[in-house]
Amino acid sequence: MHEVLNALHRHAAATPDKIALSDGAETLDYATLARRVWGAAAQLRALPSPDGAGDPVIGLAGGNRVDWVVGQLAAWQAGLTAVPLPPFFSPDQTRHILRDAGVTHVLTAADAAGFPGVVTLRLAPILASAPPPPKAGAEIAQIIYTSGSTGTPKGVCLGDDQLAWTAGALANAVNAGPDDHYLSAVPLALLLETLCAIAVPLLAGGRVTLAPSLTDGFGTGDRPPLAATVAATRPTCLVLVPHLLALWVEELTRTAGATPDSLRVVAVGGAAVPPALARRAWNLGIPVYEGYGLSECCSVVSLNRPGARRAETAGPPLPGLAVSINGGEIIVAGPPVMRGYLHAKPHRAKGPGVWRTGDHGSLNADGYLTVHGRLDTIIVTPWGRNVSPEWIESLVLGDPRVGLCLLTGGPDMELALLLAPSTAGRPWFDTATPAQVEALINECCATVPAYARPRRHAVVPLADLFHRGLLTGNGRIRRREAAAAYRFVLAPTHSTAQALP
């Protein structure tokens, strides 16, 4: 990420007293941030090599705090491979990452009990007077582990070229500038947030506010104080997952709250954004711009942007990316395609790569991408019709009473819908009869052909999904695991509509 580090150096010289970063407990101007990064990089370079061979591999743990950002930038400055440890992963998943990536040292932005087999460090806040001599970056600058749909995450290897290209493309797409104030509302361990909360603002010379109150409970079902934090900080930009956007919309609707006029871009990704939710957000003054991406393509493939938004699409591809559709599958070609999965044969040599995403999509005449869902999740009904579950789920999630839902079915099972009430919808579901819930579903699916409408349903508490480990870090339902866990209430041998306590 040499371009990002060079930008930090320039801003530290040109605007040394400008606030660059704050987390509520600590605020750094550009000069101090640069000196902290340079000092931390020198400390990382002094770490002993594992077994006397090779460079250390640096894990990053903790919440969204100044120390995390300093550690991430210092790893890039020192030319070392960084491995974010998502706080919403289970202990078993974290242990797998540490072993799989060969992590030797973990930098923590918060007190930690330690990690087995590695050294846990808190970098001393050394203020170096000058940047250390440049060191050639590691072949792999970042290893990102995605939660996916199984319990064993897979490491995605990204080099400096993929990261830098995507950061620059994003900065251009959203017209990032020195007056921007970015609010970090999702964990920095997510690649998109690393790019949007660290790389893009530093390229533009903007300001970042980290909000641990929003991110410390991410993925647990907790309700973060998003509306109050946005009102207090008055950001221009932030990134959300659809679940957080729904919570924000619900809170503003319930309290008749307002959004600050400072907002210009609220990018939403990580899952499909229900069109009805996007419309409600815009009506409340939230400038929602839907996007699409995946870790294997450095997190962002396409994005709606100011002056170029088409509702119910994921926007046009980033300039320089070639996106095509082959047999209904989205194919991505260009600089940000990953180098490969860790321990697997490299997917690509240096230069642009090609990735078959496994996602089902289409492009309109103007080049705007619509994502219909995963090809491998398409349900074949007992009547031989193909149904993309994301299509139906997006329609049902458009009702503010529904927090999460999952469509399941198969050749031996009619389509069935699992619903988890939203906070706003919980009182309604507490008293609703099965017939009333069925009416809600039918209303949401009024435009859907008969073969694609759910025939059965079950209502479960969001807490039940969380405690069973059926939610990903992005707040999505783990599809296969949830379908198996609740099959006993969705299977044809049971009544038409059921609810779990």
Indicate the pTM of the whole model.
0.85
Burial, 466: exposed, middle or buried (Cβ in 10 Å; 0-12, 13-18, 19+)?
middle
Q: From CA 349, how far away is CA 344, in angstroms rounded?
A: 13
- The mean-pLDDT minimum among 149-158, 271-280, 427-436 falls in 149-158
Contact (Cβ atoms closer than 8 angstroms) between residue 77 and residue 131: yes
The backbone torsions φ and ψ at residue 237, rounded to the nearest 5 degrees and listed phi first, read: -140, 150
Q: From CA 477, how far away is CA 336, in angstroms rounded?
A: 27
Question: Which residue's structure tokens are 């660290």?
Answer: 198
Give pLDDT, residue 271.
Answer: 79
Alpha-helical runs (H) found in 347-471: 389-396, 426-431, 434-444, 462-467
- The mean-pLDDT minimum among 187-191, 232-236, 462-466 falls in 462-466
Query: Is the pLDDT at 340 greater than 60, yes or no?
Result: yes
CA-nearest of 271, 273, 276 to 447 is 276
| C-alpha torsion 291→294→297→302, nearest 10 | -10
Contact (Cβ atoms closer than 8 angstroms) between residue 108 and residue 120: yes
Q: What are the b/e assignments for 91-124, b being 16+ CB within 10 Å?
A: eebbebbbebbebbbbbbbeeeeebeebeebebe
Domains and CATH numbers, the chain: 2-371 (3.40.50.12780), 378-499 (3.30.300.30)
Q: What are the b/e assignments for 185-196, b being 16+ CB within 10 Å?
A: bbbbbbbbbbbb
- The mean-pLDDT minimum among 25-29, 129-133, 290-294, 442-446 falls in 129-133
Structure tokens that stand for 163 in this block: 């990261």
Pairing of strands 386-387, 379-380: antiparallel
Digit-coded pLDDT (tens) for 17-26? 999 999 999 9
DSSP 8-state assignment for residue 211: -
Q: What are the b/e assignments for 394-411, b being 16+ CB within 10 Å?
A: bbbbbbbbbbbbbbbbee
Contact (Cβ atoms closer than 8 angstroms) between residue 59 and residue 106: yes
Query: Is the pLDDT at 185 greater than 50, yes or no?
Result: yes
Give 433-452 as a DSSP string.
-HHHHHHHHHHHTTTS-GGG
| Other C-beta atoms lying within 10 Å of the C-beta of residue 251 | 18
Q: Which amino acid is at 296?
A: E
Digit-coded pLDDT (tens) for 34-47? 999 999 999 998 89
Question: Which residue's structure tokens are 């019709």?
Answer: 385
Digit-coded pLDDT (tens) for 390-448? 989 999 998 999 999 999 988 778 899 999 999 889 999 999 999 999 999 999 999 88
Q: From CA 4, how far away is CA 96, in angstroms rounded?
A: 30
Give pLDDT, residue 149.
Answer: 45
Reading across the β-sheet that carries 456-459, which strands appear in turn? Answer: 402-410, 413-421, 456-459, 497-499
Q: What percent of the chain has pLDDT over 90?
A: 60
Mean pLDDT of 341-369: 84
Give pLDDT, residue 283.
Answer: 95
State whether residue 121 is helix, strand or coil.
Answer: strand
Question: Which residue's structure tokens are 């894990």?
Answer: 59
Question: Roughly what angle, to the nearest 10 degrees, separates helices 2-14 and 160-173?
Answer: 60
Tell me the CA distances in angstroms from 487 to 289, 402, 451, 482, 498, one per residue in order. Answer: 36, 20, 20, 8, 12
Q: From CA 476, how far away is CA 422, in angstroms rounded?
A: 14
* Geometric angle at alpha carbon 430, from 426 and 432, rounded to 5°: 110
Pairing of strands 19-22, 27-29: antiparallel
Q: From CA 70, how far away is CA 39, in angstroms rounded?
A: 10
Identify the top-confidence range among 64-68, 87-91, 477-481: 64-68
Mean pLDDT of 470-499: 72
Query: Is the pLDDT at 85 greater than 60, yes or no?
Result: yes
HSE of 383 in the Cβ direction (CA atoms, 13 Å)? 8
Dihedral of CA 168/171/173/177: which sign? negative
Q: What percent of the chain has pLDDT over 70?
A: 91
